[in-house]
Amino acid sequence: MKSKPGETNQALLSMPSLEMAAECLKTLAHPCRLRIVQMLISGNYTVGELAQACEIPSNMASEHLRLMQRCGFLKSEKQGRFRYYGIAEPHLENIMECIVSRFGDD
């Protein structure tokens, strides 16, 4: 059954919630950040390892990580001299599955 204009099969999110979602999705909308998320889904990595995989300097990787942590996407843990980053938001895996499904066949 088709919904009438303004009606949906599920409740609409509030505009503040959508604004917050849009800001976090904007944060993900960068090739290096998507590569970082893709890597972190499979395990924890240091800034240096992530920077190398993205072919960028460590300070740039640190900035990408900081932005994603601010949205609550990532967590970090210090182990000895190194800080390891990992996924804090489990829904990132679903987002990456959609991206791989849509764009994975080069």
Half-sphere CA count of 17, side-chain side, radius 13 A: 4
Distance CA 106, CA 102 (A): 10
pLDDT of 2 over the 60 cut: no
The predicted pLDDT at position 105 comes to: 77
User: Any idea what the Cα angle at residue 105 is, between residues 49 and 101, rounded to 5°?
Assistant: 80
Q: What is the CA radius of gyration of the chain?
A: 17
Residue 74 CA: distances (Å) to CA of 43, 66, 104: 12, 9, 23
% pLDDT > 70, the chain: 91
pLDDT at 53: 97
Kindly list the structural domains of the chain, giving each domain's residue range(s) and its CATH number in brackets, ordered by start. Answer: 20-103 (1.10.10.10)
How far apart, in Å, do the first and last CA atoms of the chain sit? 37
The string of pLDDT tens digits covering residues 59-79 is: 999 999 999 999 999 999 999
